[in-house]
Structure 1
């Protein structure tokens, strides 16, 4: 802006880029999809004693989910399950998880933000944008073949567990109702050993305490399941049908939980929750309890409270007004948990999302328009809220993409891209279109390993467009080449968000991505370039 290569109006125009708006709407809708039980239910069934079965389940779920859902959200929802598993080293599964999400994202227009950004560039140039399934044949072929190679290369992956999460372990109690889906099946069949950061430590059956809990133990109705672990992951068991938390029976389980410490002068010290009449006394119910320096077990309602106990409370509207709160507790903080959706709300969320995607795929309704109306309906039906949308607005991503789009426009206005095109023209004017396609692809691939995928796409599309105009070639294969190459960040952990997620979740080093990612990148690039050349030239 200082050297007058772009104006303020250019930046504002980039902030209202159709591809960016569509991406933001997709992310907003994704937060509601994350509340549903689909990925959580399947996530519990991924792990198996056989690495081959586990890999097949993990790759298939991640690959096909990422084709329609935000692939970063898919990885984020599965990462804890993989990190905490006791069957296979996390390092053998976390890189495959990220790569499966990257590969799956290239199958449809909405699988990754890169495709939407390139699509918006095409529309901006007055050209026809991508159709929903323009990527599918190429992405599906490259993805499945690379998935097979990734499995063959698994001996190259290191063997170590994921980084241990930093959290305080709370004790949680859940009752098994008579109609629960858990009844009559063993712990292993119910996949209760695969819960991220939550561990089933004992079962109370009548007056009998069962501990330790063996994998072949069959769950019966009215069992009380005692878990310990990270309360932020409470939604990983909250979706199980017929499993009720201690606080849910009082109807107080909301989105916000309040963490308190029992005061050293509290009148409730030495009494159980039942003896104090806790619900009536404080308009709150205990979801979980933690006692530093001492392990606790048994029914939450029958534990004697001690000074210094941490309680996680589901509070009613009257809680803050009660005069006895300060006498008994020090309020520490509020904890956020995922609000549980009803069966009707879950069905509406998935039906609405699939309908919007189908209408866009059939070119009946623009994707951005459909997502906008669907997001509004999610608020009206109270599946989402305005506050939630504000909280989840991806400001960092918006800034990066607007910055990349503005930089691309600046390079175009300044003549830098024209200079590069003119420099390459003597080399390309007498060569085949396939050579030009390979050069555009490789330059984008190199760039995406050093900057984000969105920035690589934004910087390389204007160059590809100028080259195509000079050589009088069709734009579509080059636009697809830029989109595919910008997403193909396998060699560096820094070029793609899913790589960063698994990189920080484990003890991976840069060399691990280079070792496993280089052959994947080479095979992926060969398949994509061969298919694009065969199809268009």
Structure 2
């Protein structure tokens, strides 16, 4: 081996070590590897440009950007409403089935994010009994199709980079169905291992939001559960004001009446969800101010508001603003916003008018903090366009009518032109980390080829074919990928192991497709560690789990997943090269 070979191999090994040591910063680790290889001329400028503009990588990014519009619709919230049932087994089965199906076609991170609120807020079952199954179901569902998980799309980008035909939309499906069924059965029978832990919330730190039910609202005459008011993302219905009557023990069967004032607590950026309900008016909107321009402020000790209610001081005319939400640190607020007595240090979110900035009394009464950016929601024709457009694009690609890249590029153009997403949203949500990770991994694979590491590896394998049967080699690749996924991240594991797996398949004259699938499915096998997959990390925090909770239920699921994957890959794709 030459000096260049040893140098690139050292960068490869150090990258793996860096990913293990700095688990929360994989993009920085890969970025350093890219800059090192480029600055030492281990890769050419053309190869770096090709890596950054890889078609599979751009397809993944476009798909993630298009899914932003889908997250702004009611689709996933309606799915979540169908999940929670009084019976735990029925809830578990619905949760697993709907999450698997949703994750096969939608971004599984978005699916889990939408389900978190309803599950945490459900009155029937402990969230800790449902959140790990939610994450595992999203992981398993993602293995069913090409677009189900970023891992599959990353592997496909590496396939295209190796000048191989693109993987088909349903190439993963047969193996995916096998692992969904096998792991679903295992997870169901292991559900007793899930902890029954009460989730401790800190409602005093959350904003207090009021919405009034108009007499003509379709919510009137239906229960809270029927209206889906307990299935919101990061917003929780905490009480109802009915005239002078204050209802604090909220029953899911409580029927909504006209002119009820619904009091929510939670994340203020999610307040636009309430606008999706027919005839539900947010407090600030009744003052004639839209929610498009929000400011967060703190009430000064010398403010004229102190000890007075918003209505008594004529807040709207005094400041050209209306209160959307209020938060009081260390104390839970309750009652109608308009009648609450303001205290020094109260946090207010204001919908402000055009004259707000020019009013001389603003800085005398408030400490200005920052603008508040809402998670906007789609309704009407835009909502229909976002949902229908997404599934039409995916359907056309699945049927082979047009390539997936072209379908999602056209869809993103339509979403932008129609206003379903904005350029600022795309810039804010652009998956920079994934772009850096994948493009850097492709650069690393170029360096391994340029330096002769891959050729030396192939020669070594060719001379040792008596030690590596195709089946043993396949199992080894799957096991190494799975281990890396648990230690680092799924995307990083797939990107690092792909060139080794492909080179190994060629050197022992095995079927490359089987080895490619071993990498894809191995990289999705994150069940034991909460850090290897983003959905695991999301539920780890939300469910207040301990590492041991994942280990207890993740080990049997991971073992069943591994055995099923190996058997199914060999059965579906075979080990012998065509």
Instruction: Give the TM-score normalised by the residue count of structure 1.
Output: 0.91
Closer, same or farther in 2 for the Cα pair 1:228/1:71, shift >3 Å?
closer
Aligned residues: 537
Q: 1:202 to 1:448 in 2, by over 3 A?
A: closer
Task: Write the mapping of 1:200-279 to structure 2, written as runs, cut at 5 A.
Answer: 200-279=237-316
Q: What residue in structure 1 maps to residue 68 of structure 2?
A: 31
Candidates 155, 159, 165, aligned match of 2:196: 159
Change (3 A) 1:79 1:208: closer
| C-alpha distance 234-417 of structure 1, shift in aligned 2 (>3 A) | same
Q: CA deviation at 1:335?
A: 2.4
2:115 is aligned with 1:78? yes
CA contact (8 A) 2:397 2:404 kept: yes
Q: Identify the residue that residue 337 of structure 1 maps to in structure 2.
A: 374
State whether residues 210 and 337 of structure 2, in contact with CA within 8 Å, keep that contact through their aligned partners in structure 1: yes
CA distance in 1, matches of 2:183, 2:403: 32
CA distance 1:331–1:527, change in 2 (3 Å): same
Give me the whole-angstrom Cα distance separating, in 2, the residues matched to 1:199 and 1:459. Answer: 42
Residue 504 (structure 1) aligns with: 541
Instruction: Return closer, same or farther for 1:422/1:516 CA change in 2, 3 Å cut-off.
Output: farther
Q: Aligned partners of 2:554 and 2:365: how far apart in 1?
A: 56
Contact kept in structure 2, 1:444 and 1:460, CA below 8 Å: yes
CA distance in 2 between counterparts of 1:201 and 1:64 reads: 32
How far does residue 318 in structure 1 lie from its aligned partner after superposition? 2.8
Cα 1:100/1:342, change in 2 over 3 Å? same
* Partner of residue 492 from structure 1, selected from 529, 532, 541: 529
CA 1:84 to 1:413, structure 2 compared with 1: closer, same or farther past 3 Å? farther
Counterpart position of 1:138:
175
Relative distance call for 1:430 and 1:57 in structure 2 (3 A) is same
- Aligned 8 A contact 2:204 2:329 in 1: no
After superposing the two structures, state which structure 1 stretch, 104-113 or 72-81, moved more: 72-81
**TM-aligned CA deviation for residue 392 of structure 1:** 1.0
User: Structure 2 length normalisation: TM-score?
Assistant: 0.85
Q: Which residue of 2 aligns with 1:327?
A: 364
For 1:446-525, list aligned pairs within 5 A.
446-525=483-562
User: Following superposition of structure 1 onto structure 2, how do residues 248-397 of structure 1 map, counting pairs within 5 Å?
Assistant: 248-292=285-329, 294-397=331-434
Deviates more, 1:133-142 or 1:422-431: 422-431
Quote the residue 2:215 is aligned against.
Answer: 178
d(CA) in 2 for partners of 1:494 and 1:419? 34
Answer whether contact 2:70 2:387 (CA < 8 A) is retained: yes
The answer to whether the 8 A contact 2:486-2:529 is kept is yes
Task: Give the Cα–Cα distance (whole angstroms) in 1 for the partners of residues 400 and 382 of structure 2.
Answer: 27
Change (3 A) 1:461 1:166: farther
Look up the SS of the partner of 2:240 in the other structure. Answer: strand
Structure 1 residues 227, 491: closer, same or farther in 2, change over 3 A?
closer
Is contact 2:285–2:291 with CA below 8 Å preserved after alignment? no
The answer to whether the 8 Å contact 1:63/1:101 transfers is yes
Separation of aligned partners in 2, 1:318 and 1:399: 44
Distance across 2 between alignment mates of 1:313 and 1:377? 33
Q: CA deviation at 1:435?
A: 3.8
Gaps of 5+ in 1: none
C-alpha displacement at 1:289, in angstroms?
2.1
Out of 436, 444, 455, the position equivalent to 1:399 is: 436
Q: 1:499 to 1:169 in 2, by over 3 A?
A: closer
Give, in whole Å, the separation in 1 of the partners of 2:435 and 2:200.
Answer: 29
Distance 2:550 2:104 in 1: 23
8 A Cα contact 2:203 2:266, kept in partner: no
Is the contact between residue 490 and residue 518 of structure 1 (CA under 8 Å) also seen in structure 2? yes
> Contact conserved, 2:112 with 2:134, CA < 8 A, in 1?
yes
Indicate how the Cα distance of structure 1 residues 251 and 110 shifts in structure 2: closer, same or farther if over 3 A, else same. farther
- 5+ unaligned residues in a row in structure 2: which ranges? 1-36
How far apart in 2 are the matches of 1:234 and 1:218? 22
Q: 1:84: Cα distance to partner? A: 4.2
Alpha-carbon distance between aligned partners in 2 of 1:269 and 1:533, rounded to the nearest angstrom: 72
SS at match of 2:209: strand
Q: CA RMSD in A?
A: 2.7
**Residues 105-134 of structure 1, C-alpha deviations (whole Å, 9 max, x = no match):** 111111111211221222223221111111
Give 3-state SS (helix, strand or coil) of 1:518's partner: helix
C-alpha spacing 1:415/1:507, structure 2 compared with 1 (3 Å):
farther
Residues 165 and 345 of structure 1: is their aligned pair in 2 closer, same or farther, counting only changes over 3 Å?
A: farther
CA distance in structure 2 between the partners assigned to 1:433 and 1:362 by the alignment: 32
| Secondary structure in structure 2 of the residue aligned to 1:140 | helix
- SS at 1:365's partner residue? coil
- Mean Cα deviation higher: 192-201 or 384-393: 192-201
